[in-house]
Structure 1
Amino acid sequence: MTLTNEQLIQIRRHLHQIPELALHETQTHEYLLSVIKGFNQQFLEIRETPELPTALFVRVQGSNPQRTIGYRTDIDALPVEEKTGLPFKSQHPGVMHACGHDIHMTVALGVLNYFAENQPKDNLLFFFQPAEESDYGGKRAYEAGLFSGKWRPDEFYGLHDNPDLPAGAIGCRMGTLFAGTTEVNIDLKGKGGHAAYPQDANDTVVAAAALIMQVQTVISRSIDPIHSGVITLGKIRGGSIRNVIAGHTRIEGTIRGLTQKMIEKIDGRLQDICEGIGRSFNMDVRLGLNQGGYWPVENNPQLTKFFIDYMQKAPDVNFIETAPAMTGEDFGFLLAKFPGTMFWLGVDDDSQLHSATLTPDEAAIKRGVDAIIGFMNARMAK
């Protein structure tokens, strides 16, 4: 029996009450497993892995498979104290599904439940992924070799909820949906000293100021203005008191880019500037870059065209073409390894993602499930 709208909502509300942070989604894992074990098991194979203990893989055996279609949902939450006032609010203090991953999981369960009852033509692989918000669970799974043999998808799909779109609407675009992100850490090491004797010291605060000003030219003068990139240096820490020259200053920030090639170009220019500042001020300037799995979400042209064409023609789908977003998503790493598409599911809310008051419209769940089932059946008919 397929899940009803009321059952899907109850699943979502239970998941909303048990949010857990990256790589600690044990209660979520157990609940997902219990729900999936309640489905018809005739076509299902469930896999748990010691390499990524809170992850869950479910394979649906196709009747006449030509490919394996992957579907990924993220399962972790954020360190946010919930302020929605909902009767089913988070029971874990300081942790909340403030990015809507409870919606993501429920939609995935609805799609999986349908194909457990209605054997698909192609094989399907459902990946319930931990650690999207931090610690890049998709990259961890890939590098652990978990997508191999019959568990390797030929193409991969996934969604993210969007409070700016009407409930149940499907949003997508050709090209990049989400930017890639890179953490930036810069340490400048000079020589401290008395403020009255600057000639005997090597001031890292002055060097940091020069570095920050030069970084502002990277986007304006090194990146094609038709494309988009961002460098934000959001934190600087140096010195201990007003009359002592700082011998160490640390700068922290983030890079955002719409293609991996663009991010790598920004990385290179930033390295050049750090080396130049080091030489100019005769000090040690060390640049640390950490991208992890947060690569740009670059949708595959052929698969995304088919996806958009289907959603535009489906009579019960409200399709909206969307602009790229500068937010990050670690599904980008998997799309760099497997062709696929990421798309939006509208949840119509005044609060934004990562907000303590995010309250998605639950009417989106069943509409999302139905749209994805329709797409997958159309894809398998090709």
Structure 2
Amino acid sequence: MILTKEELIQIRRHLHQIPELALKEFKTHDYLLNIIKSFNQDYLKIEVPQSLPTAILVLVKGKNPQRTIGYRADIDALPVNEKTNLPYASKNPNVMHACGHDIHMTVALGLLNYFSENQPQDNLLFFFQPAEESESGGRQAYEKGIFHDEFKPDEFYGLHDNPALPAGAIGCRMGTLFAGTTEVNIDITGKSGHAAFPQNANDTVVATASLIMQIQTIISRSIDPIQSGVVTLGKVKAGTIRNVIAGHARIEGTIRGLTQKMIVQIDQRLKDICEGIARSYNLDVELQLNQGGYWPVENNPELTKQFISYMKNNPQVNYVETAPAMTGEDFGFLLAKFPGVMFWLGVEDNSELHSATLTPNESSIIRGIEAIKGFLIYRMEK
């Protein structure tokens, strides 16, 4: 049986009440699996990978498959204390689906439910992915080899909800949808000493000040101004008391870039500057860069062109051309391994993503299912 709009909303509300953090999505996993097993199993094959036990892969076998089309839905939540006062608010203190992954999962279940009753032409692979918000679940899935044999997609699609777009609207763009992100940690080690005798010490505060100012030139002088990148140093710590020269300082920050090539370029300039500061001030500068799986979400040109064309020409779809966002998404790693498209689903809310008051418009669920279902059928005809 096809799930009704009301049943889908109830599924979403149940998922909203049981949010779990990355790699701890056990109740979520079990609930999803029970729902999936309630569908018609004639065309389905379910796999739970031992190496990533909260993940679920569901293969829908096609009538005459020419390809396997992947669809990903992330299932983890955020360490946020919910403040919506909804009757179906989170039952887990300080954990909330503040990024709308409950919407993502429900849309995926709706699509899977439809194709379990209406056998598709091509194979469809549904990937319910843990650990998007942290721990790089997409990269873990790939590196642990869970996409294998018939469970290996030829192309991948996925959505992210967007409270700034009208409920049910589909947003996309050619090129990059989300920036890639890299964590930056810099430890500067010199020699502490008395404030009155600087000649006997090696002041890391002075070196840190110089380093910070030089880092600010990376975007303004090393990156094409038509492109876009960000280096933000959000935390600086040095010293213990006013009359002691600090022998150690630490800088923590983040890099954002719209292409992986740009991020690599920023990384290299950062390394060059750190090496220069170390030589100039005769101290040690240790740079740590951690990108994990949060690569830029670079949409495949040909598939994105088809996706946008379908959505634009479908009178039932409110299509919106969107600008790139500097937020991160680990689907970018999978799109670096498989061609595909990520897009927005409007959920029309005054609160922002990751907000404790995020309340997506639930009418977006059925609208999203209809739009994506139509595209997948259209794609199978190509």
**What TM-score range do you get, normalising by the shorter chain?**
over 0.9
Alpha-carbon distance between aligned partners in 2 of 1:20 and 1:98, rounded to the nearest angstrom: 11
Distance between the aligned counterparts of 2:205 and 2:105, measured in 1? 47
Q: Flag as ranges the 4+ runs of structure 1 deviating above 6 A.
A: none
For residues 47 and 310 of structure 1, what CA distance do their matches in structure 2 show?
31
Deviations 1:44-74 (A, max 9, x none): 0010011001000000000000000000010
Aligned residue number for residue 215 of structure 1: 215
Deviation at 1:354, TM superposition (A): 0.3
User: So what's the TM-score if we normalise by structure 1?
Assistant: 1.00
- Partner of 1:127: helix, strand, or coil? strand
2:377 and 2:51 map into 1 onto residues whose CA distance is 32
The equivalent residue for 2:290 is: 290
Q: CA deviation at 1:315?
A: 1.6
Tell me the percent identity.
75
Q: Name the counterpart of 1:200.
A: 200
Q: In the alignment, what sits opposite 2:157?
A: 157
Cα distance between partner residues in 2 of 1:81 and 1:196: 48
Once superposed, what is the RMSD of the aligned Cα atoms?
A: 0.4
- 1:381 Cα deviation (Å)? 1.0
What is the CA–CA distance in structure 2 between the aligned matches of 1:53 and 1:208, rounded to whole Å? 44
Number of aligned positions between the proteins: 382
* Structure 2 Cα separation of the partners of residues 56 and 20 of structure 1: 16
Q: How many Å apart are 1:306 and its aligned residue?
A: 0.2
Counterpart residue number, 1:100? 100
SS of 1:293's equivalent in the other structure is coil
Partner SS for 1:275: helix
Matches within 5 A, 1:28-107: 28-107=28-107
Report the more deviating stretch, 160-169 or 235-244: 235-244
CA–CA distance in structure 1, aligned partners of residues 102 and 237 of structure 2: 37
Residue aligning to 1:362: 362
Mapped partners of 1:315, 1:116: distance in 2: 26
Structure 2 CA distance for aligned equivalents of residues 240 and 42 of structure 1: 67
Unaligned runs of 5+ in 2: none
Counterparts of 1:4 and 1:244, CA distance in 2: 68
Paired position in structure 2 for 1:172: 172
Shift of 1:148: 1.6
1:163-185 Cα distance to aligned partner (Å, 9 max, x none): 00000000000000000000000
SS in structure 2 at match of 1:158: strand
Q: Which residue of 2 aligns with 1:236?
A: 236
Q: What amino acid is the match of 1:154?
A: D
CA–CA distance in 1 between the matches of 2:206 and 2:23? 41
Q: Secondary structure at the match of 1:30?
A: helix
Q: Distance in 2 between matches of 1:13 and 1:198?
A: 62
State the shift of 1:92 in Å.
Answer: 0.2
Deviation, structure 1 residue 149? 1.0
- For 2:31, give the aligned amino acid: Y
Aligned to 2:186: 186
Q: Which residue of 1 aligns with 2:246?
A: 246
Residues 3-26 of structure 1: CA distance to partner in whole angstroms, max 9, x if unpaired? 100000000000000000000000
> Secondary structure of the equivalent of 1:58?
strand
Q: Which SS does the other structure have where 2:12 is aligned?
A: helix
SS in 2 for 1:78: coil
Are residues 1:339 and 2:350 paired? Answer: no
Q: Please state whether the residue corresponding to 2:316 is helix, strand or coil.
A: coil
